[in-house]
Each structure stands twice: as structure tokens, then as C-alpha cells.
């Protein structure tokens, strides 16, 4: 487990880039924390490090995005609006996990349904600009 404080979005992206270097297709990374904690910023930093050139935006109003990185596919899911994941919903989600590195914001709704995470990232506000990021290898 590692714990770091960051004082800017750029610093959070850099922490994410270090984690990204350890990931391979099939890895799931859950990213939890309250609204505004910096989850999407973290995923953006990881995606950039993995060679995604598209602008990584919050998929809150879609199930997710799937991007082409440098020799790897990267998915970004956001389960904010889910209270659980039914079998039918899992059918929609499954392709995002297939042969990709998958980042999942608001993973709580998918507990027991999503493939097990390799890393669990937890973020919280320490103060206005400061975020505390803990990363557990599961
Ligand atoms: P979430 O996905 O958790 O709701 P976002 O990444 O969308 O959060 O938004 C985080 C907001 O906080 C952004 O506006 C970002 O610029 C700001 N911010 C300020 N300081 C930090 C920091 N240290 N790390 C990440 N984001 C930060
Ligand atoms: Mg978000």
C-alpha cells in the first residue's frame, strides 16, 4: 500500500502515470472517492501515460469509454448512477474489460460482479488543492 499527497491535478496525473507503467491488459483498477476528489484526473493521467491521445473526460452520462493507447486498449468506466449491476447490465459492461486495462470510478456498485481489481486507488480531499491518494495492490 502506498499513500501520497498531491497539490495539483498535474501531480495527481503523475502519480497515476507511475501506476500505469505497472499495468497490463486484463488489469482492473478501481478508483474511489467523493465527487471532485480527482478520480477522473487520475484516470486521465494514467491514460496519457498509456499513450491515449484523445481527451479523457468523465463518462458519468455514458457507461464508459474505450481508448486506443500505445499497443494497449484502455477502458474508463463510471458506475456513479448504478446501485448494483444486473446480469443484463454486465452484458453491456463486459466488453470494456475484454483485453483492456480498465479503470472504474464509483466501483462500489459493481462489487462481486466486476472482475477482481489488481489495484484499488482511494482518493480524498485533504484541503482545497491537496488530495490524499492511497494505492493498494489487491
Ligand atoms: P472526480 O472524478 O473524483 O469527481 P475530477 O478529477 O473530475 O474528480 O475533478 C477534480 C477537480 O479537482 C478538478 O477540477 C481538478 O482540477 C481539481 N483539483 C485540484 N487539486 C487537485 C489535485 N491535487 N488532484 C486532482 N485534482 C485536483
Ligand atoms: Mg469522475
Length of the chain (residues): 138
User: Is there an atom of ligand 1 within 6 Å of 6 CB?
Assistant: yes
* pLDDT at position 41: 98
Nearest to 37 by CA among 127, 137, 136: 127
Q: What is the pTM of this model?
A: 0.97
pLDDT in tens, 70-85: 999 999 999 999 999 9
Q: Is the CB of 59 under 6 A from ligand 1?
A: no
Distance CA(91)–CA(128), nearest Å, equals 39
* Cell numbers describing residue 130: 491537496
Percentage of residues in the chain having pLDDT higher than 70: 99
Amino acid at each position: 500500500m502506498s499513500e501520497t499527497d498531491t497539490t495539483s491535478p498535474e501531480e495527481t496525473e503523475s502519480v497515476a502515470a507511475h501506476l500505469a507503467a505497472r499495468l497490463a491488459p486484463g488489469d482492473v483498477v478501481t478508483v474511489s472517492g467523493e465527487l471532485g476528489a480527482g478520480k477522473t484526473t487520475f484516470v486521465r493521467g494514467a491514460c496519457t501515460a498509456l499513450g491515449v491521445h484523445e481527451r479523457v473526460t468523465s463518462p458519468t452520462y455514458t457507461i464508459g469509454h474505450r481508448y486506443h493507447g500505445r499497443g494497449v486498449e484502455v477502458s474508463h468506466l463510471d458506475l456513479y448512477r448504478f446501485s448494483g449491476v444486473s446480469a443484463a447490465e454486465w452484458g453491456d459492461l463486459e466488453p470494456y474489460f475484454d483485453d483492456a486495462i480498465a479503470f472504474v470510478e464509483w466501483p462500489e456498485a459493481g462489487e462481486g460482479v466486476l472482475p477482481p481489481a489488481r489495484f484499488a486507488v482511494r482518493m480524498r480531499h485533504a484541503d482545497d488543492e491537496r488530495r490524499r491518494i492511497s494505492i493498494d495492490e489487491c
